Amino acid sequence: MITSRLIEFDPDDTWIFDSDNADRTAWTNQFGDIASIHEFRKVPDLVAMPDESGIDALRDMYRKVLANVGGIVVVEPIAINSIKSLRTIIKLPQKPHGMTYISAITIPFDDRSYVLRFQCPEIGTTGARDAAVAIMRMDTLKTGPDGFPQGWIIDPYSRTETPGARFNLSDEEQYDAMFPDHPLSRARRYVVAPVAVLKFKADIATLKGFTLARKPW
């Protein structure tokens, strides 16, 4: 049985080492973000393959998990070292205000998964990105009977005003360049090119690939 972690995160010098244990290593940076890599030694909790054939089912899974708690921003298939993997960004409300954005790369195998995770909280003044984009998009949105702009809060993939959705138009990637230090921009940037910061040990080849032979749910 392989006991060592077979995938490692190698961050640049903007990250400061925080903690380490058998299943998780973590770092922090100047923004208060937390980067961590996890090894989960159980069948991955994915209801479908992380590819084009299964992505709709995986998006539905995340919607259900986050119902009344948060919302999805990104749920996309990605190949990491030729392994079918999943890139996600979710948003969770903070108290008393603001959002925390969590981006992750999940690399599943038959009996375990590795997750590279970034937690990016909104600190200080909150809502500036939302307000600025709302002003920019004001002319393209109709006001509903409740006085709220229609089509502002939507599901990112169905593009409909789905009950419980928390994605809004300011979360679109096109606005990251305008707000490079916003926590969503950072969360997305961290998982755009994960191959550059992940190290795969040779023994990774001994692991059996993820299948749906054993349904996790």
Q: In degrees, to the nearest 5, what angle opens at C-alpha 119 toward C-alphas 185 and 166?
A: 65
d(CA 39, CA 179) in angstroms, rounded, equals: 32
Whether 171 is covered by a domain: the verdict is no
Domain count across the chain:
1
CATH number at 50 reads: 3.40.1000.10
Q: What is the mean pLDDT of the chain?
A: 90
What residues have CB less than 8 Å from 195, skipping those under 6 apart? 80, 81
Whether 66 is covered by a domain: the verdict is yes
d(CA 116, CA 106) in angstroms, rounded, equals: 7
Looking at residue 142, its pLDDT comes to 81
Q: Where are the beta strands (DSSP E) in the chain?
A: 7-9, 16-20, 24-28, 34-40, 71-80, 83-93, 99-108, 113-121, 198-200
Looking at residue 3, its pLDDT comes to 42
Q: Name the residue among 68, 36, 44 with its Cα closest to residue 190.
A: 36
Whether 57 is covered by a domain: the verdict is yes
**For residue 161, pLDDT beyond 90:** no
d(CA 5, CA 22) in angstroms, rounded, equals: 8
Structure tokens at 3: 């006991």
Q: Which residues pair with 79 in a beta bridge?
A: 84
**For residue 108, pLDDT beyond 90:** yes
Whether 196 is covered by a domain: the verdict is yes
pTM of the predicted protein model: 0.92
Whether 60 is covered by a domain: the verdict is yes
Whether 104 is covered by a domain: the verdict is yes
Contact 187/29 with Cβ under 8 angstroms?
no
Contact 77/85 with Cβ under 8 angstroms?
yes
Whether 158 is covered by a domain: the verdict is no
The domain of 98 spans 7-123+180-206
Whether 135 is covered by a domain: the verdict is no
The string of pLDDT tens digits covering residues 5-52 is 899 998 989 999 999 988 899 999 999 999 999 999 999 999 999 999
d(CA 147, CA 180) in angstroms, rounded, equals: 31
**For residue 4, pLDDT beyond 80:** no
